[in-house]
Structure 1
């Protein structure tokens, strides 16, 4: 039976229909489990203090410095995703709080989605579908229609997802080039893809697919100046983080026919999403509601790994995907 001395994990504003899976894992581990809502720092603090949480599993809740200062009993924050820009890792480390994420869980499904968006824009699938539903049988209305072979697919960010997207694009007939902060232009990757300067990639590629993390250096990495470097018949795809792209500048480029199209799964503001944003009126766009990360298979893996990290942390084990394992050194606190 659970008791007051049992450790407690709290699901803080998670992005799932229910938390039955997490609750079952906690129960099997002999850990109490509760759910709180609200993603602002104040809501997070209130929920953690009211529940007496030892660890939090979260999707989009904010964990700035003030959360760690206000919640001295907190031992871990485990995010159900790869990115962790909502969490102040430096402040967490200073307060002895482990921060965990789930890298690699969505490699296949996110790269699948990136390729799908690219092809949907090139083939104008959404526009063809809309015509059919209006009773219009005339593919010529949506010309030009593109294909893979003969086009260059540029990958920006060659982590696991970027490499998977590159492999799939090459398999479909694209010529693949890439850029990454960790790779030296003028060389080739182990797979044989040429490494270009970012500006050169933007000038060369027919499809530019973004797979870089969001950092201060990559915020608005694709801005008006860099969009102007792209071919007027190029396609931009973003399944990384919304703020990697200046979306207002992108919408303007599309509306002015300075860019052919875009496939976006992530946006600078998502919760709540601004349905009056200029990108909603931009032509030749395929938009999805941050769905790239999700398949039933990847979703279960995501939830299990995030929850297991929290369980490990409160039971004194170093989680596999811990960003700051130094907090488990007794001298770190």
Structure 2
């Protein structure tokens, strides 16, 4: 039997590119649409590599994999759906694609903030309904004199800060690493604040940190209550960073100006979610990473990582290189 890999819940529209790359490398690919890795056990038997978008590779799933598996490659910047510790114990390389969407995600975060502040979607609905009188549109927000808070200062956080400052926002930052270092400011000169101070002083709070146990519900009921009256929350990172019920309640009660959300605790977002009914929200379907160029890069790099490992080469982006 030749080299064979499995694509589990590979959601990118670049499926043809994936198949072509594997074929050119002399590798057969089998596919399964399943969020649960254990539901694709037949497909996973005897494969040397796995590429996945949202497949659930928990410790129990990884422990049940055949010993032939050498690599799991995630089509994304995070690996929260893969138990890296379990994979490392099994000697399985876990690869990902850091930095591929820095430009588009940072732009999307800014776009969401501006759409909420300027009430773009509300204005659009009014015009289409024949409501031209501005009396039908609540007061609009502006950039000048407002503070943009960046929560998480990796590549996307840094680029979002640069763009926000370029628009005229005053930028402040919180990140776990900078807090541990006791930094008073970022290398670019943006003030570093404790998280509770940032959420209570920023007019826009934009999330750009990873979802790990320490950051789950980072923006919880208590921190939402600390936010400035009339503040905007933007999340293009991970849905699990925010207590969705607490956010919806704050929006319903008018304590926040609004929210721009691209990610949610459960995806797809259920039509009955309180966030769907909450006022002054702009919601997008986990699309911040999307552009023709970014998605092609994501596909090429994640597929190439599998090819490299199964053919005995070190991949470009491996989160546990000790197994190689």
* TM-score, structure 1 normalization: 0.94
Runs of 4+ deviating beyond 3 Å: none
The CA RMSD over aligned residues, in Å, is: 1.1
2:216 to 197, 214, 219: 219
Displacement of 1:18 = 5.4
User: Partner of 1:331 in structure 2?
Assistant: none
Q: Does 1:114 align with 2:109?
A: yes
| CA distance in structure 2 between the aligned counterparts of 1:70 and 1:18, rounded to whole angstroms | 29
Give structure 2 stretches of 5+ with no counterpart. none
User: Partner of 1:197 in structure 2?
Assistant: 194
Would the aligned equivalents of 2:231 and 2:257 in 1 still touch at CA under 8 Å?
yes
Alignment of 1:134-283 (within 5 A): 134-184=129-179, 187-271=184-268, 273-283=269-279
| CA distance in structure 1 between the aligned counterparts of 2:306 and 2:92, rounded to whole angstroms | 11
| CA distance in structure 2 between the aligned counterparts of 1:235 and 1:30, rounded to whole angstroms | 50
1:63 to 48, 57, 62: 57
| CA distance in structure 2 between the aligned counterparts of 1:186 and 1:238, rounded to whole angstroms | 24
| CA distance in structure 2 between the aligned counterparts of 1:144 and 1:295, rounded to whole angstroms | 32
Would the aligned equivalents of 2:97 and 2:302 in 1 still touch at CA under 8 Å?
yes
User: Partner of 2:72 in structure 1?
Assistant: 77
Would the aligned equivalents of 2:58 and 2:81 in 1 still touch at CA under 8 Å?
yes
Alignment of 1:27-42 (within 5 A): 27-42=23-38
User: Partner of 2:21 in structure 1?
Assistant: 25
| CA distance in structure 2 between the aligned counterparts of 1:10 and 1:142, rounded to whole angstroms | 51
Post-superposition Cα deviations, 1:109-155, rounded to whole Å, max 9, x if no partner, equal 00000000000000000000011111111233222111111100000
Would the aligned equivalents of 1:37 and 1:43 in 2 still touch at CA under 8 Å?
no
Q: Name the SS for the 1:150 alignment partner.
A: coil
Give structure 1 stretches of 5+ with no counterpart. 329-333
Bigger drift between 134-143 and 316-325 goes to: 134-143
How many residue pairs end up in the alignment?
321
Displacement of 1:217 = 0.4
Q: Does 1:129 align with 2:129?
A: no
Post-superposition Cα deviations, 1:236-278, rounded to whole Å, max 9, x if no partner, equal 000000000000100001101111100000000004x311011
Displacement of 1:164 = 0.3
